[in-house]
Amino acid sequence: MEVPVGLEPRTGWVAGLNHGAHDASCALLRDGDLVVTVEQERLSRNKRALNESPALALQYCLNFAGIELEDLDVVALGSHHDLLAQWMGYGDQQRRSHLPFDSPSWLYPEDLFGGQRRPPLLPVRHHLAHAASCFWPSGLEECGILIMDAMGEDCSTSLAYGGAEGIEVLETYPVDVSLGFFYESACEYAGLGRQNAGKLMGLAAYGEPAAMDVGLRYKPGQISWPVAATADLTGRELIESRIDQLLEFFKSSCFPYTVGCAGDPLGYAHFAASVQKSLEDVVLGLARRVQALTGSSNLAIAGGVGLNCSANGKVATSGLYENVWVQPMAHDAGVAYGAALVVARALGLQHSKKSQMNHAYWGPPTDEAEAAAELAVFGLEAERMKPDTLLKETAAIIAAGGIVAWHQGRAEVGPRALGARSLLGDPRSRRTLVRLNRMKRREMWRPLAPSVLAERFTEFFEGVPNEFMIVAAHVRPDKRHAIPAVVHVDGSARPQSVLSDNNPLYAGLIAEFEHLTGVPVLVNTSLNVAEEPLCSSPRDSIQTFLKCGADALVLGPYLVRSSSSNSGH
């Protein structure tokens, strides 16, 4: 991208923001390398930060680095709202009222940044920001790139190539055949709520995809929906019309012929299975198309549809690519990092290997003094332990059937708990699944994920190891009886492969659990309850521990045992 004349690096600090109506976030780079990134929801405690400025996230990142707003050379924005307004058909007044998210007053509110010099803003096309977020952090020297979401400024799917010269977008697909909107509409039809793609993906395992045809198709260069777009509609009217058309098609053609009967989720199981299978077929078709266009043996994936771990698993095991890398912040929160990378590169600030995301622990750290103070505020009796003792005691609680709220180190980024802010349990009993779903107020048919020591992955799973819990695999038939709590009804799981180099404390806990039980696997789900964001601060984790009824809280070096422990029940 081109930068304004005269804009040159002064300090080397570049911030990136996702600044739209949802999933606000900030990423901070120094001389092109990632320092910290955080999602607004983790700070405001409002899930997905709907219609929230990323200001708290920006302030947190600045405080983390010990700098001020005026120290930034530039702020990169993860979408270009002038181009979006043009596609939507907005005039100047509509642009100001419907897309105020890039105004200085929205991004730099006076109560947080009053009186400070406001750095210049540089917008980056949304899909380019997604592409940057998955290419450069992947560590791959070159790769094909697949971006799939609801929409960018004027497209919904992009195919690109990343190499030494940067990123080149090769092919795009319009908003009226959006895979993101298709899947959201299917969620709404099934009564799960439009923003609950994970629920539909979990429900799909209970059905037979051959039971019905949902009409989603792909052939090289073309995605098609089961109904044609209404002529002459543009912008918001086009989107709403397409979703209404799709819901009417589902209602007329797909059992149980009713939109959103929320009390009957299993009635939509065959529908969910068909939607999921159709999506996987299209994603595989797009992956083949990327390879045909680029000739690369590597693929990087981002965009909200990139969070569909079942589809990712199909691509990873298809044999199409030697390496498939999926951005752990594949959703819109990740464009903060991607936009910052694009702008930093344009300024001549080249990232180094330090920015490679071989782990996801780039969020707020655990401060021992803060943890101790918060435990005192809540009147909790805590034992401070050395690491070896802490791991032994924690593993013993889990092996006895207990549930542990685990808060350690820097928080993971993205929607998956990866052993920094997790609820942990024993995979050897199916009761662990039942109890955790009740504690988290989740539907009973939804699966939970396993964490496994990386060196033991192939002993338990068939598939491609992934450290971000974002690529599905199958549990080996001869191991399913050993870890029934993490085996979905179709024999699948979405395992996290844990490397001791990336998270030595968590790997040590799994190893200690194996020492006690012979199983190098833990149940790992996010430390939160339904409709709340993943925990970030010690206070968040203490409140969730008290709310959900876990048997113990491990907060930094402190172990807190529940006074009403249900361990083993």
- The Cα angle at residue 462 between residues 457 and 466, in degrees rounded to 5: 55
Stated length of the chain: 569
Strand partners, 223: 218
Sheet holding 166-173, edge to edge: 166-173, 157-163, 143-148, 298-302, 323-326
Say how far residue 278 (Cα) sits from the centre of its chain: 22
Distance in angstroms (rounded) separating the CA atoms of residues 313 and 124: 30
> In the numeric block, which tokens belong to residue 403?
């549930």
**Six token digits for residue 95:** 């642009």
- Sequence-ordered alpha helix ranges (H) in 196-308: 197-204, 235-253, 269-294
Task: Exactly one of 22, 98, 126, 569 is catalytic; name it.
Answer: 22
**Backbone phi and psi for residue 68, each to the nearest 5 degrees, phi listed first:** -110, 165
Q: Is 6 left (phi over 0), alpha (psi -120 to 50) or beta?
A: left
268-271 contacts at long range (C-beta below 8 A, 24 or more positions apart): 268/189, 268/190, 268/191, 268/203, 268/207, 269/203, 269/204, 269/206, 269/207, 270/207, 270/208, 270/209, 270/211, 270/212, 271/186, 271/189, 271/190, 271/207, 271/211, 271/212, 271/214
The 3-state DSSP class for residue 489 equals: coil
Residue 551 tokens read as 């048997």
Got the DSSP string for 179-203? HHHHHHHHHHHTTS-TT-HHHHHHH
| 22 assigned to active site | yes
Instruction: Give the number of other Cβ atoms within 10 Å of residue 400's Cβ.
Output: 13
What count of other Cβ atoms lies within 10 Å of the Cβ of residue 450?
28
3-state SS assignment for residue 377? helix
Secondary structure (3-state) at 95: helix
What amino acid is encoded at 553 in this protein?
L
* Beta strands 449-453; 558-561: pairing state: unpaired
CA separation for the pair 336, 467 (Å, rounded) = 21
Helix 368-377 × helix 538-548 angle, to 10°: 40
- Residues serving a catalytic function are 22
